[in-house]
Structure 1
Amino acid sequence: MKETELFKQIDEFIEKHEKDILSDLAELISKKSVKGPAEEGAPYGRGPRNALDSVLAIAQRLGFSVNDGGGHVGWAELPGEEKDHLAVITHVDVVPEGDGWNSDPYVLTEKDGWLIARGVCDDKGAAILSLYAALFLMQRGTPLRYGLRLLFGCDEECCMHDVPHYLENNPEPLFCFTPDVDFPVSVGEKGIHSNGGFYSAPVFKNISEFSGGNASNSIPGNASCIVNVRGRSFKPMKGITVSERQDGRYLIEAQGVGGHAAHPDGKHNAIGILTDFLLENDVCDAEERTFLELMHKIHVSGYGEGLGINCEGKLLGRLTSIGGIISQEGAVLRQDMNIRYPECISGAEITAALEKIAAEHNARFEAVEVLEPFYISPDYAPIQTLVESYSDVSGHEGKTYTLFGGTYARRFKNAVGFGPGDDFTPRPSFVASDHAPNEASYFPVMKEALKIFIVALIRLEELPPSAYVRAD
């Protein structure tokens, strides 16, 4: 079949299924799938399990065979002639919605072509697109060389513990891509040092109920605390609201600019704003001040300068470092950390640096999750196939890049990030990107992404097994 005829068939398919895509996406969006307490059959909580059940029900209705994977990673699949299979992995869990939405975050809302909801671009939209891309291959009627498995993870936003469980019980795919990035193709990812944190000594008496942030991998837009002093005035500071309570204490609230931890430019961490206000107004004693000065070093930059870990690699770029969640238990503050690091520093070196600076401030640092960086050569044949598919459909030049964030690609031997985001469509003021309030995707861009996915999958199916052997 000539490529022009194939592209025409894909366009007709997308037009025919446009309403179904929107309906299925709305159904999946309606499942609030923030991680929660483990239950039987729901290792990451009832929310992600409900979303997994929802997407598998959609897949089954479309004609796929499905498996729930015990609630870790479920899948829908098509058989192939070879023993090896290709995979596409998306995720159905989301970060908490947070404040600042202009509409219900769990009701798919359309405005001027933009689809607004929590998870629409990270990553439920891609989950639905992957299903309809595979549906085209199913309805095309051409036997597949390699089986195709569409994977739906339930723990991407927290620790990605779902994929190791999946791989303990299932074979590695021959090649996999995750549509959880921007086009064209992400071939490498920074290391991730996450879920660890700084702990103060039990010294906080003048400050209580310190809280901020709702996800480790999000820059918090709001933070607050209670100041246990009475009858005093405060120096004003931008982003700070002070309210006197009935008991005479003061509620201090900070408003910043939130967003994804991997992209600190243009963001303003509310915890840092609140910390600087407390220091500037001297509402803390000497022991409290010691830890707040450490907090200032954490939040003074999104690139680790205050902690002495700033660096930039030739392959993976600049290190980023943010404090995503702060909490208080009794007299102890805990500041969660999320650090994305390039190849010029190791996870062990970061841990050592943070332990040292913590000790200098009468605190301690505990590391929890450390994932090292990865990189695949852009010359790898399946990567070139993805790049060419993107260029042929979009008309834009296809180039590989490396990623600030972390995706499922790092959990597989042969995996990359591939769409569906687009850098060419400006966002109007009423929408935002992933992890922020008013998260949105532009539906015309989503439809083009679906076309790109279909073309890419057809071409990946045509590659011989030898093309999937990496030189490295």
Structure 2
Amino acid sequence: MTIDWKKEVEARKDDMLKDLVELLKVRSDREDDKATPDAPFGPGPKNALIHMLGYGERDGFITKNVDNYAGHIEYGEGDETLGLFCHMDVVPAGDGWDTDPYEPVIKDNKIYARGSSDDKGPSIAAYYGLKIIKELGLPLSKRIRIVVGTDEESGWGDMDYYFQHEEKPDFGFSPDAEFPIINGEKGNVTLRLHFEATNAGDFELVSFDSGLRVNMVPGSADAVIRLAGDISVEDLSAAYTDYLAANNLTGELVGEGDLVKINLIGKSAHGASPFAGVNAGTYLAAFLNQYPFGGGAKGFLDSAATYVHLDHYGEKLGVAHEDPRMGKLTMNAGLLKFGADLDDNFITLNFRYPTGVTADGMVKDIAATVADTGATVDREERDAAPHYVPMDDPLVANLLAVYEEHTGEKGYEQVIGGGTFGRLLERGVAYGAMFPGYTDTMHQANEFMSLDDLYRSAVIYADAIYRLAK
């Protein structure tokens, strides 16, 4: 049977776009302060999950909501299950948008909104791939289950809970990365440097706040300081103006009584690619570190400025490492928080690490390096080890064959620093929906997905799902 997958997608383009627009309107960033037993990650992720499952109910699929942690949309029968792993949660919008991030806008044949490329757009494309197979009544020998998560951008608590109640698929992919395929992912762990909330210098660091998530490059930073000695607000302002100009940055410094408020604007980016952003937190720390702070405040600023600033590979911390297949370890300082009223003063370091490195080893090495700053070091419990599915695995071979037939381009393997739900399965990969040469706007302001790529990926997903499950 020859199926014109492109024709089938063309016939459903309007419906696909309509469903995507409505899904993007559901704000779904995690809000722990609004979490309840019924909404474990806040109301937004729950609402987006229910909305996505509603499409499955509307179209006659079997659906299940697992206590608003996650859910699935299922079709077909068989002893094996093909899993497609999507997620409805998004990172916070942050600053710098030209449009409302939760009111989708289409311009220049692109749809702009938070979640358009990560991961609601690709999720809709994969869903319509399965929808086409169902509507054509194609014969299958396996079950197909679209697993819909709500906490991919944070702690993956959704999948922990889901797999306590549901069986794992046998193999599958996540439409949450790049074509032609991602069959390898670096390890992923977050370490924290902790500091005492003390000031012992002529200058006082009243507060320092930068970053929204550990897996985002901070796009802005704010500090409040109290001056002392011979340095005036005017002197500090002149020095700050020169610093911003020398580093091609923007910001503001305002004196209010005996306090000075300082803001610095950088550029947000995905934490897996820290070199694609401009870390506002470390830039501001580097400026302040030249002044006479003391105590825990000095340790905080010195650690950020001396051991983290402008180092994306952990070289200054003594943990740099490179693997021939997986490439270099990368590091992102995602959260920098200091204040006398805080329970914890810390810097988070999110590492994407290749084979040959361990999280415990990094804790030991970094603790020795930063000992002079007074920092203590620990790690988050979650530690995703490096993941790799060989090229000769039938899953990888089939997915690459589909890509090649529909694009005319040669497929090849890739290893990334980003962590996707593809690694949930021993035989799991990430597959699209970004095409080679695509502008990656995940976790950035003005996130978008090309409509041509939305429809093109749906064609590939439909064919791939059918080949893997027929």
Please give the TM-score of this superposition, normalised by the length of structure 1: 0.92
Q: Which residue of 1 aligns with 2:170?
A: 174
Shift of 1:384: 0.2
SS class of match (1:379) = coil
1:60-459 matched pairs, under 5 angstroms: 60-80=57-77, 82-194=78-190, 196-204=191-199, 206-229=204-227, 231-232=232-233, 233-234=235-236, 235=239, 236-238=242-244, 239=249, 241-280=251-290, 282-285=291-294, 288-296=297-305, 297-330=307-340, 333-368=345-380, 369-425=382-438, 427=439, 433-459=441-467
Classify the secondary structure of the residue corresponding to 2:12.
helix
Identity among equivalent positions (%) equals: 28
SS in 2 for 1:437: coil
Q: Which moved more, 1:88-97 or 1:163-172?
A: 163-172
Change (3 A) 1:102 1:420: same
Q: Which deviates more from structure 2 when the two are superposed, residues 93-102 or residues 223-232? A: 223-232
Moved more, 38-47 or 252-261: 38-47
| 1:287 to partner: Cα distance | 5.4
Partner of 1:470: none
Q: 1:388 is aligned with what amino acid?
A: A
Residue in structure 2 matched with residue 469 of structure 1 by the alignment:
none
Is the CA contact (8 Å cut-off) linking 1:394 and 1:448 kept in structure 2? no
Q: Secondary structure at the match of 2:160?
A: helix
Q: What SS does structure 2 have at the residue aligned with 1:265?
A: helix
Deviation at 1:376, TM superposition (A): 1.3
Question: Residue 210 of structure 1: SS of its match in structure 2?
Answer: strand
Distance 2:27 2:296 in 1: 41
Asked whether the 8 Å contact 1:327–1:335 carries over to 2, the reply is: yes
Query: Aligned AA for 1:323?
Result: A
For 2:401, the aligned partner's letter is E
TM-score, structure 2 as length reference: 0.92
One-letter amino acid matched to 2:17: L
Partner Cα distance (2:220, 2:370) in 1: 25
**Counterpart Cα distance in 1 of 2:84 and 2:441:** 22
- 1:75-117 deviation digits (Å, cap 9, x = unpaired): 111021x222111011000000000000010111111111110
Structure 1 CA distance for aligned equivalents of residues 308 and 170 of structure 2? 41
Q: CA deviation at 1:329?
A: 3.7
* Aligned residue type for 1:208: V
Unmatched segments (≥5 aa) in structure 2: none
User: What residue identity is the alignment partner of 2:63?
Assistant: V
**1:40 aligned residue (37, 42, 55):** 37
Q: Tell me, yes or no, if the aligned pair for 2:269 and 2:276 is still in contact at 8 Å.
A: no
2:52 maps to 1:55: yes
* 2-structure distance, mates of 1:224, 1:187: 39
In structure 1, C-alpha distance between the alignment counterparts of 2:276 and 2:144, rounded to whole Å: 40
AA partner of residue 462 (structure 2): I
Structural RMSD (CA): 1.6
- For the residues of structure 2 that align with 1:359 and 1:202, how far apart are their CA atoms? 17
Instruction: Provide the rounded CA distance (Å) in 1 between the counterparts of 2:47 and 2:297.
Output: 43
Q: Give the C-alpha shift of residue 391 in structure 1.
A: 0.6
> For residue 17 of structure 2, what is the aligned residue in structure 1?
22
Provide the rounded CA distance (Å) in 1 between the counterparts of 2:296 and 2:350.
Answer: 25
Measured against aligned partners, the alpha-carbon deviations of 1:182-224 in whole angstroms (never above 9, x if no partner) come to 1011111111112x31111222371122101111100011101
SS at structure 2 position matched to 1:185 = coil
How many matched pairs?
449
Give the Å deviation of 1:354.
2.3
Query: Does the CA-based 8 Å contact 1:347-1:371 persist in structure 2?
Result: no
Query: CA separation of 1:286/1:171 partners in 2, compared to 1, >3 Å: closer, same or farther?
Result: closer
Which one-letter code corresponds to 1:393 in the other structure? H
Query: Partner amino acid for 1:249?
Result: L
* Aligned 8 A contact 2:250 2:265 in 1: yes
Distance 1:28 1:204 in 2: 48
